Amino acid sequence: MRSMPKAITKMNRFLAVAAGLLTAAITLIVCADVGSRALLNLSLPGASEVAVLLLIALVFLGFAGAEAKGENFTVTILLQALSLRWQRILKVVASFISLATIGLLAWFSWSRGIASTFAFEVTYGSMVFPVWPSRLLIALGLTMLALQLIAGLLDGGEDKEERPHD
């Protein structure tokens, strides 16, 4: 049972690294597009659409990795005033509330993503570009975050890297 949370955490940390690499890909695409506009007075077809798709992947696939590392945004000003026992209790309650919220968002995202895929939903900009990959990436990212929240609850947060509180 303990190997499942560790496997989920390991996968989400990999997704965080992949999301970080997407920053480089977005930078290259934007620089190539800007260079093409400056030198050739031509925009690269689909460059902005691909950059947006990669940005969605970066953000939503990065959430679970940040949670795995204990780096998602938290407000701890009130928690620090409480005893360790109450801090643990509130963290578990917050994790359950987060899990319920993220789970619901993931459910609706999968529903919308699947419908978008079957409808071949596209957007019209500088070119016709499919919308469904973005919707599926959002659903996948939210699902991985929900799985990471479950792993954190099962694991008791042992795999999270310790970091100083601000």
What CA–CA distance (Å, rounded) separates 141 from 126? 27
The model carries a pTM of: 0.82
Question: What is the pLDDT, as a whole number, of residue 5?
Answer: 81
Distance of CA 1 to the CA centre of its chain: 25
Residue 160 pLDDT exceeds 80: no
Across residues 38-63, what is the average pLDDT? Answer: 91
Residues 16/64, Cβ–Cβ less than 8 Å: yes
The span from the CA of 53 to the CA of 145, in Å, is 19
**Selected residue with higher pLDDT from 126 and 63:** 63
The whole-number pLDDT of residue 166 equals 44
- Would you place residue 162 in the very low, low, confident or very high pLDDT band (cuts 50, 70, 90)? very low
- 32, containing H or E segment: helix 3-40
Virtual torsion, Cα 71, 72, 76, 79, nearest 10 deg: -90
Tokens of 105: 């968002």
Phi and psi, residue 128, nearest 5°: -75, 125
Residue 106 · residue 143 · CB < 8 Å: yes
Q: Which residue has the higher pLDDT, 163 or 23?
A: 23
Rounded Cα distance, 104 and 92, in Å: 18
Please, is 128 exposed, middle or buried when counting C-beta atoms within 10 Å of its C-beta (0-12, 13-18, 19+)? exposed
> What's the whole-number mean pLDDT along residues 137-164?
78
Question: With 80 as the cut, is the pLDDT of residue 67 above it?
Answer: yes
Confidence class of residue 15 from pLDDT cuts 50, 70 and 90?
A: confident
